[in-house]
């Protein structure tokens, strides 16, 4: 029976949820080792172990790139939420000053609602795609 991780490791971008308890060792010549380190640095991996694991298990295919794309998408969503929060904060400040509620404020609130609904739909679609893959 495999043990589950309590939390993600240092990189936080991999899908593996099992605790790694098995060890695999391989002997390399100094030139082989240096070549492997060079390839890992060029691949922009976080560690030599992560690079080697990706090559051995996934054949070097999309495992790391897939998670980078997910991370970039999450960053974009967070930035969009921050922009929406800024708009809502400005409207709330105006309303709290006892200013008259203008039509422009109501229109802005409607825009915020539409943008949030669109983001929610996109998030749900991405979640469904991840579950199916």
pLDDT of 113 reads: 80
pLDDT of 60 reads: 66
pLDDT of 33 reads: 92
Phi/psi at 56 (nearest 5 deg)? -70, -45
pLDDT digits (tens, 9 = 90+) for 27-75: 999 999 999 888 888 876 668 888 888 788 777 655 556 666 777 887 8
pLDDT digits (tens, 9 = 90+) for 92-114: 777 778 667 677 777 877 888 88
Instruction: Identify which of 72, 65, 69, 26 has the alpha carbon closest to the alpha carbon of residue 49.
Output: 26
pLDDT of 130 reads: 64
- Could you give the CA distance from residue 94 to residue 98 in angstroms, rounded to a whole number? 7
pTM for this prediction: 0.42
């Amino acid at each position: 029976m495999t043990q589950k991780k309590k939390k993600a490791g240092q990189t936080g971008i991999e899908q593996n949820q099992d605790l790694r308890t098995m060890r695999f060792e391989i002997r390399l010549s100094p030139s082989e080792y240096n070549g492997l380190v060079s390839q890992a640095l060029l691949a922009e991996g976080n560690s030599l172990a992560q690079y080697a694991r990706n090559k051995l298990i996934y054949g070097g295919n999309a495992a790391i790139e897939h998670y980078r794309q997910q991370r970039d998408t999450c960053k974009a969503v967070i930035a969009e939420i921050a922009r929406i929060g800024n708009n809502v904060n400005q409207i709330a400040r105006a309303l709290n000053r006892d200013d008259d509620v203008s039509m422009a404020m109501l229109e802005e609130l409607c825009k915020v609602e539409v943008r949030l609904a669109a983001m929610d739909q996109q998030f749900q679609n991405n979640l469904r795609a991840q579950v199916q893959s």
